[in-house]
Amino acid sequence: MKALTKHLHWILAAVFGLWFLSTLRPKSDAGIKANEFGRLPVLLNGRIQPWDSVARNSLLQIREKQAFSYELRNEKGEVTYKTNLTGLQWLMEVMFTPDAADARPVFRIDHPDVKGLMGLSIEEKHFAWKELEPNWQKFYAQATNSARIESSLRTPYDQGLLKLLNAAKVYLNIKASVTSPQIREPLEDLVSFLKSIEPGRAAAIAQQAGKKDYDEAALNTLVGHLGTYDMMANLSTVLVVPPHHSEREGDNWTGMGATLMDMARGEKLHDSVKFYAAMASNFRSGNAEKFNSALADYQALLGKDFVKEAKKGRMEAFFNQMEPFYKSNIFYVTALLLGLLFWIVPSEWARRSAFWLIMLGLVIHTAGLVFRMVLEGRPPVTNLYSSAIFIGWGSVILGLMLERFYKDAIGIVVASFIGFVTLVVAHNLSLGGDTMEMMRAVLDTNFWLATHVVIVTLGYAATFVAGFLAIIFVFRGFFSRGLTEGTRKGLNRMTYAILCFATLFSFVGTVLGGIWADQSWGRFWGWDPKENGALMIVLWNALILHARWGGLVKERGLAVLAISGNIVTAWSWFGTNMLGIGLHSYGFTDSGFMWLSFFIISQALIILVGLLPLRLWASFQKTALAAPKASGKVKAGMA
Amino acid sequence: MKHITSILTSLRLTIILLALSTALVFFGTLAQANFGLYDAQVKFFKSAFVSWNDLIPMLASILGDVLVGVFKLEPTFKASFSNAFVLGINIPIFPGGYLLGWLLVINLVAAQAKRTELTKKKAGLIMIHVGIVLMLVGQLATDKLSTESQMQLFEGDTKNFSEDFRANELAIIDTSDPKEDQVVAVPESILATRKDISNPALPFSIRVKEYWANADLLRSAFSNAVPANATEGFLKNAFVLSKPTAKVMDSRSLPAALIELTDKAGKSLGSWLVAAGIRSDDVAKVDGKDYRLSLRFTRHYKDFELSLLKATHEKYRGTDIPKNFASRVRVKMNSSPEVRETIIYMNNPLRWAGYTFFQYQMAADELALRQMNMDRASSTFQVVKNPSWVTPYIACVLVGVGLCWQFGFHLFGFLRRRKPSVA
């Protein structure tokens, strides 16, 4: 038994590590090679990405999930029907067999009035396109009205309408990206179109010249085709067709609808159009062999002329499958539980296992971070989503460093808890769609992104770590007897050291931001909300440090001030982004604003607890009863 | 005296000032939603005191917002709740940026002067605090000395003036001299008072019949738009939709005014609607002379000229996200025949003749506005003159080095102490 507990942390780490590695094996395709298809590159949102990413990001916006699972139950609650689709399988269904896809309840609708407007059941949460179509006109009129309202004045109902409108746009976008529901047999349609071009154009020219005897049937066939393609071009922004020459034309990819229309104007047929049509037709008829062979043909074409794009597609698809941030979070949660267990029953194996699990989690977290940087060709923080991931990463490292010195599971709890929360925040931020969107022109500078943004974000992370150390101080002191003198001093020293880090990083980061602004706009300081937020962190951290140096606060005072630092940081991180929404009416029903308020209120409550007289603290009770004199000393030292 | 010195040098004062500064920055940020970026700065950061009416009703309005949400009250409650806190007189209630800034400087200098011993251990602290004083003073100098304005050009244009970000002026231009125009410029602030305006250079006086601080001009009566009722000019039949003044960064209010010209005898010569952001060539004929009327962005004339040769605006493929703005320009001093050609693009400004020219990234609404003149590409530059631009650079080097020095001492001391237990 002893030997077991001695080595348990290795066993646990090995089990978790092996599990992670096992998830990395590329999924094999039986029949239609969906996973292979998912790696094909397309251009969307200004960047090359695989179909797999298109699938996941679309489904996130429509259903808030990356995959589609669904079950039907009868009155007795027994499952009568069950289906599980990966994002990719769902995407291919939407593109190639839209009738089947239209019957899948993928649209998540939460607002009851939106359901009411569409005549949908209030109890259900997910609905199929088929159910939405009958009342679409009515919905569309209302939704476009909401779109005209300034975003800060929109009601939750408006937001619900717009969310569904966006979901529908995403859905129609992929539906029209390769072929159209109006085309019964894509390959035949392509052949017929190619045949109709010459006679159709001749007829059109003749008609324009005023001749009476032009071939009306040929003209109508061509116009019929073009009508469908025009609709595809209007609905879809996915650019699926690569340029004829990768070298000369760079990112000049085109949408399928536009490509086909260009062919009527004399543009030559791109082989990829043929291959996609073949894949669409054979997916519909269920001919796996022919589908796979068309897919292989297209891959061969890409392998010849579009090596870079094809590689990017494969890499990003692998990254999606790796799900590093989701998986590292599993490590963190497990470690958090073990760390808490150590506090209740101090058993070294739990602490050690937690430490190594966080270490492994950090390795995966780091791998994900680096992978993202390679895919984007950018420093780690480019938007709010990646800032959450990076704050988590920085906090985990700081926590592990503390644990290395103090070995009392405090570092473990801090690392795993902040890691866990920030990754959950990141997940919720990812629901907005593509998290690797392109940078606006003014932000398009890797130098400043790498210095200012990274350092300021590390400052956020350090301030949070200090704040959570302080929370542990208050919680353990007030609710348990675990705040012994040693723990107290240790926590105090940790908080102080991390606050020094936080001050350094936030100050340097903020000033670098000023220099960036001076270089790009000609003003060092513009009192912009985000700048002000960073400044507040600097001021607050400076205040805490001075208060401690001046002896105005001792251990408890430092803890309370550090917890307030959490509020200041959360405000800078999110509050300033919500300034437009949050401060106008209705804004605070917005879910982000609600969570921020919730966080701030929770911190305020902890501060209140921290301010309660020490005689109410569990950790000081025993001493207070047994030796009143000693308690007086403690009080003096703690004030 | 001793008492005052001990207060001025005390750490307690530092902490109070830091706390007040944090709160001020917070309030000033909130205020931007109410007053707009510029006004909020003036009221909170570029002033000695914040007045009650600028702060308390705003906080009340936020509280009102919460109450409306929690108790499901009528949305109008918020406004009436916040209005209940508006006072008839203006009393200072909170220290403003200038007061706090100066107090911080005094406190810092005094404390350092009193306590400093020049030791290796304290060198970091001194550097940090000298840097911060420099930063504060530098920011004040920037506030007082720097000028910022914009140059907006279409391809092929040459200009010898830049335009103000916020201020507008009513220009009355006598074009009778073919060589040089005679310009009488009336600042918007005077228009806003709606007083009669006369000038010896003008054979008429101007009566401001209507003034809108920010307005949209429409062809027909939409929403709450009212007819301007001008009797003359390009905008004779336009409708005016009054709007709240612009609050978002990089957006500006476009005022409009209905002006009536009267001759010396007080007889009306007609009324014109003038509006900023709309180029009209309205001309009033008085005593046989042509006077062009235009409400335009206030101009700052320069002793050089700048021509826009080519403007490029790239977007990411398949999106509306701007990828790059770049402009090929030619500059020339009036005093010298020498010309210089260069490219200005994002994060790559031109520093020339004491000014810095930054490529400006247009916001969506500006681009839309520009599309009214779609035939030619255009570009905008931020033109900045800031004699104290270098202070923050020196300051931040000082503070950065000082911080590293100081925390380095702490960190190594800490690591030395911990060593035995790690090993």
Query: Is A83 touching B (CB cutoff 8 A)?
Result: no
Which chain A residue has the Cα nearest residue B380? A521
CA dihedral B361, B364, B370, B376 (to 10 degrees): 60
Q: CA of B330 to nearest chain A CA: how many angstroms apart?
A: 20
d(CA A514, CA A507): 11
* A contact residues 249-268, partner B, Cβ 8 Å cutoff: 251-253, 255
d(CA A134, CA B289): 68
Q: CA of B297 to nearest chain A CA: how many angstroms apart?
A: 20
d(CA B171, CA B185): 4
Percentages of chain A per state (helix, strand, coil), in multiples of 5: 75, 5, 20
Element (H, E) at B56: helix B52-71
DSSP line for A407-435: -SSHHHHHHHHHHHHHHHHHHHHGGGS-T
Give the three-class secondary structure for B341. strand
Pick out chain A residues at pLDDT < 50: 581-589, 624-639
ipTM: 0.85
Q: Where are the alpha helices (DSSP H) in A265-345?
A: 271-285, 288-305, 307-322, 324-344
Which chain B residue has the Cα nearest residue A530? B29
Average pLDDT of chain B to the nearest whole number: 84
Report the residue from B78, B389, B396 with minimal CB separation from A585.
B78
Query: Is A44 touching B (CB cutoff 8 A)?
Result: yes
Query: Is A497 touching B (CB cutoff 8 A)?
Result: yes
Predicted pLDDT of residue B372: 57
Q: CA of A630 to nearest chain B CA: how many angstroms apart?
A: 28
Residues of A in contact with B81 (CB under 8 A): none
Residue B154's pLDDT band (cuts 50, 70, 90): confident
Which chain B residue has the Cα nearest residue A494? B414
User: Per the CB < 8 Å rule, is B32 touching A514?
Assistant: no
CB atoms < 10 A from the CB of A245, how many? 10
CB atoms < 10 A from the CB of A551, how many? 9
User: Per the CB < 8 Å rule, is A404 touching B400?
Assistant: no
Give me A291's structure tokens: 């589908």
d(CA A52, CA A478): 50
Query: Is A445 touching B (CB cutoff 8 A)?
Result: yes
User: Per the CB < 8 Å rule, is B323 touching A438?
Assistant: yes
> Which of these, A553, A535, A604, lies nearest to B100 by C-alpha position?
A535
Query: What are φ and ψ of residue B290, in 5° steps?
Result: -95, 130
Q: Where are the alpha helices (DSSP H) in B247-390?
A: 364-370
User: How many residues are present in chain A?
Assistant: 639
Give the three-class secondary structure for B161. strand
Q: CA of A546 to nearest chain B CA: how many angstroms apart?
A: 7
* A contact residues 200-229, partner B, Cβ 8 Å cutoff: none
Report the residue from A43, A583, A585 with minimal CB separation from B318.
A43
Report the residue from A442, A528, A552 with minimal CB separation from B361.
A442
d(CA B372, CA B367): 9
Predicted pLDDT of residue B400: 84
Report the residue from A442, A547, A568 with minimal CB separation from B346.
A442
Specify the long-range contacts of residues A197-204, CB closer than 8 Å, at least 24 apart: A197/A222, A197/A263, A197/A264, A200/A264, A201/A264
B310 residue type, one letter: K
Report the residue from A521, A533, A584 with minimal CB separation from B358.
A521
Q: Give the number of A-B residue pairs with CB atoms closer than 8 Å.
A: 182
Report the residue from A507, A533, A540 with minimal CB separation from B403.
A507
Query: Is A155 touching B (CB cutoff 8 A)?
Result: no
Give yes or no for a contact between B81 and B60, defined as CB atoms under 8 angstroms apart. yes
**pTM confidence score:** 0.85
- Among A279-288, B118-127, B265-274, name the most confident range: A279-288
Q: Give the pLDDT confidence of B315-326 residue by residue, as tens digits.
A: 787 777 777 888
CA A54 to chain centre: 13
Give yes or no for a contact between B401 and B127, defined as CB atoms under 8 angstroms apart. yes
* A contact residues 515-534, partner B, Cβ 8 Å cutoff: 515, 518-529, 532-533
Report the residue from A44, A445, A540 with minimal CB separation from B318.
A44
Predicted pLDDT of residue B315: 78
Give the three-class secondary structure for B89. coil
> Which of these, A458, A467, A423, lies nearest to A567 by C-alpha position?
A467
CB atoms < 10 A from the CB of A530, how many? 16
Q: CA of B221 to nearest chain A CA: how many angstroms apart?
A: 18
User: Per the CB < 8 Å rule, is B392 touching A47?
Assistant: no
CA dihedral B213, B217, B223, B227 (to 10 degrees): 90
> Which of these, A47, A50, A49, lies nearest to A35 by C-alpha position?
A50
A560 residue type, one letter: V
Residues of B in contact with A579 (CB under 8 A): 29-30, 32-33
Give yes or no for a contact between A580 and A152, defined as CB atoms under 8 angstroms apart. yes
Q: Give the pLDDT confidence of B238-269 residue by residue, as tens digits.
A: 888 888 877 665 667 889 999 898 888 888 88
Q: CA of B409 to nearest chain A CA: how many angstroms apart?
A: 12
Partners of B359 in beta bridges: B381
d(CA A384, CA A391): 10
Predicted pLDDT of residue A28: 73
User: Per the CB < 8 Å rule, is B321 touching A46?
Assistant: yes
Going A117 to A122 to A126 to A127, the CA torsion angle's sign is: negative
User: How many residues are present in chain B?
Assistant: 423
d(CA A566, CA A606): 11
Which chain A residue has the Cα nearest residue B393? A515
Query: Is A300 touching B (CB cutoff 8 A)?
Result: no
d(CA A71, CA A84): 9
Query: Is A633 touching B (CB cutoff 8 A)?
Result: no
CA dihedral A160, A164, A170, A174 (to 10 degrees): 160
Give yes or no for a contact between B198 and B172, defined as CB atoms under 8 angstroms apart. no
Give me B338's structure tokens: 């020498």
d(CA B351, CA B357): 6
User: Per the CB < 8 Å rule, is B15 touching A543?
Assistant: yes
Residues of A in contact with B317 (CB under 8 A): 43, 46, 239, 251-253
Residue B422's pLDDT band (cuts 50, 70, 90): very low
Give me B391's structure tokens: 């202070």
Residues of B in contact with A240 (CB under 8 A): none
Residues of A in contact with B59 (CB under 8 A): none
CA dihedral B86, B89, B92, B94 (to 10 degrees): -10
User: Per the CB < 8 Å rule, is A497 touching B25?
Assistant: no
Residues of B in contact with A522 (CB under 8 A): 148, 349, 356, 358, 382, 384, 386
Report the residue from B37, B317, B421 with minimal CB separation from A239.
B317
Residues of A in contact with B316 (CB under 8 A): 45-47, 438
Give the three-class secondary structure for A48. strand
Q: Of A442, A443, A506, A597, which to mutate for an interface test with B (greatest number of B Cβ within 10 Å)?
A: A442
Residues of B in contact with A528 (CB under 8 A): 37, 249
Residues of B in contact with A43 (CB under 8 A): 317-318
Q: CA of A44 to nearest chain B CA: how many angstroms apart?
A: 7
CB atoms < 10 A from the CB of A74, how many? 9
